[in-house]
Amino acid sequence: MAKAAINTAWSCDLETGIKMEADAWSMLYGTQDQKKE
């Protein structure tokens, strides 16, 4: 479902799609980066 939402955002607004994808990566990897520090 998240992938579909991102695809929809890309279709409607490229910047929104990029931001949504960046936020998703931040959620996945941001917590790991914080644990390292």
For 1-13, write each residue's pLDDT tens digit. Answer: 577 766 665 566 7
pLDDT tens digit string along 16-29? 778 888 888 888 87
pTM, whole model, 2 decimals?
Answer: 0.37
Model pLDDT, residue 35 = 57
Torsion of CA 32, 33, 36, 37, to 10 degrees: -140
Read off the amino acid at residue 31: T
CA angle 9, 23, 10 (to 5 degrees): 15
